Amino acid sequence: MVNVLSIDIKKLVIDALKPREISLAELAKAICNIDCVEDVMISVAETDMRTETVRMILTGTGICYDDVLKVLNENSTALKSVDEIAVSKKQKKML
């Protein structure tokens, strides 16, 4: 029996810049479609002529950061900063 540590991301708060053509609903659905993301909350922080600065709060168990980046790129959304992150450590017993 071996004890394996896994560190999972439980919460991510992201500041991002998206074109106005991409709707909030589409973006939120696309992010929520990522495995292990359970809740997505997006709010518009600033509106420009072509873009919107959005604040996203993602919660789940074991959120894959790379998958989140991939979905943001797919939706022409640039990551500005990660403002908050919550992780937890879990011990798993494996044979």
Partner 1 sequence: MGFLRRRYEQTKTKVTRYTKVAEAGGLYRRYFVMNSFDGALAILGVIVAAYSTGNASARIIVNAGVGLAIATGISGFVGAYLSERAERVKKIKDIEHSIMMGINGSLLYRASKFAMIMLALVDGISPAVAIFITILPVIFYEVLPSSFPLDYAMLTAVLINLTLLALLGAFLGKISQTSVVKYGLMTLVIGVGVVVLLYFTGS
Q: Which residues bind partner 1 (CB under 8 A)?
A: 17-19, 21-23, 26, 48, 50-51, 73-78
Phi, psi dihedrals of residue 19, rounded to the nearest 5°: -70, 150
The Cα 15–Cα 80 span in angstroms is 5
Taking the complex as a whole, how short is the minimal distance between the CB of residue 3 and partner 1, in angstroms?
42
Classify residue 56 as exposed, middle or buried by CB count within 10 Å of its CB (0-12, 13-18, 19+).
Answer: buried
Taking the complex as a whole, how short is the minimal distance between the CB of residue 36 and partner 1, in angstroms?
22
Taking the complex as a whole, how short is the minimal distance between the CB of residue 20 and partner 1, in angstroms?
9
- In this complex, which beta carbon is closest to partner 1, that of residue 39 or of residue 74? 74
- In this complex, which beta carbon is closest to partner 1, that of residue 70 or of residue 90? 70
Instruction: Write the single-letter amino acid at 52.
Output: E
